[in-house]
Amino acid sequence: MQFTIVTGLSGAGKTQVIRFLEDTGFFCMDNLPPAIIPQLAEMFFSINGKYDRIAFVIDSRVGDMINEILDNLKILKENGYECKLLFVTARDEVLVKRYKETRRTHPIASDGGLLESIAIEREMLDGIYHEADAVIDTSDYTLSQLSKRLREIYQDSSMDEFTVNVMSFGFKYGIPIDSDLVFDVRCFPNPFYVDELKYKTGNDKEIQDFVMDAVSSKQFLQKLQDMIKFLLPLYIEEGKNSITISVGCTGGKHRSVTMANKLAEALSDYNVNVIHRDIKRSKS
């Protein structure tokens, strides 16, 4: 099992770190007292591998108990668990700006104002900072840069795997609400009006040949492939880990299924899931 303890300065970006870890398969728990971490580790271990990557967020909200992090981290390592301690920080002026923008109250109350609260917290966490396996300074990071830094820390190929969901659908059943990009292929020849093809689907060669026989269909597919191949690296650079491309025709059985299959074939360099949402609906 792999455990990560995320700590650091309030306002430095621990929430964004946890969101990234959740998106990459970690089970995350926030605002825990350090003393219960070894017991939680044993509990997760007893569930027979249902959770193999766990992240705990511990910060100054737990007060003086924050100093127990290192002792309990040592216990985890002595029990044979793989552990990482991530410390998230930022410059004072950046933290002040973030607090002014969000209008949140710093968890450490100080009569000396926000800067003094930040200074007190830095001193409180200084020992943990120097023992961290990785320190992430988010002062100048965009979200995509933060994601890249976390991938570097974990050196985990599964975190780099970008998933492309290609979905066919029928407009008469509604556009999929989880779509990132939607394309309408109702303008191409419709096999529904050919008796011997009506009850087949875009998974059948006869339908694919019929749809792709039109010059406009070939041109559309080529332009669609070119555009998607151009866009995907940009989405990855932005920090997205998946995208859903929806292709729709009237009923979601012939043209959309054909185009979705052809597009998926062209994107074989990526991890592609093909979903035919409406292919099994009534044939009428």
What count of other Cβ atoms lies within 10 Å of the Cβ of residue 190? 18
pLDDT for position 197 = 94
Rounded Cα–Cα distance for residues 270 and 232 (Å) = 9
pLDDT for position 215 = 96
Phi, then psi, of 65 in degrees rounded to 5 = -65, -15
Give the chain's domains with CATH numbers.
2-159 (3.40.50.300), 162-276 (no CATH)
pLDDT for position 157 = 47
CB-based contacts of 76: which residues, under 8 Å, 6+ apart? Answer: 3, 37, 38, 41, 83
User: What residue type is assigned to position 153 of the chain?
Assistant: I
What DSSP letter does each residue of 2-52 carry, written as one string? EEEEEEE-TTSSHHHHHHHHHHTT-EEEES--GGGHHHHHHHHHTTTTS--
Dump strand ranges (E) for 90-130. none
pLDDT for position 127 = 92
Rounded Cα–Cα distance for residues 258 and 256 (Å) = 5
89 touches 146 (CB < 8 A)? no
Per-residue pLDDT in tens (0 to 9) along the chain, 284 residues? 789 999 999 999 999 999 988 888 889 998 888 889 888 888 888 876 678 889 999 988 888 888 889 998 999 888 888 899 999 999 999 999 999 888 888 888 888 889 999 999 999 999 999 999 999 999 998 887 888 888 888 876 455 568 999 999 999 999 999 999 999 999 999 999 999 999 999 999 999 999 999 999 999 999 999 999 999 988 887 777 789 999 999 999 999 999 999 999 999 989 999 999 999 986 54
- pTM, two decimals, is 0.63
Q: C-alpha distances in angstroms, 200 versus 196, 204, 222, 252?
A: 8, 7, 24, 12
Q: List the strands of the sheet with 2-8, edge to edge.
A: 27-30, 53-57, 2-8, 82-89, 134-137
> Most distant CA pair in the chain: distance in Å?
82
pLDDT for position 282 = 64
pLDDT for position 188 = 96
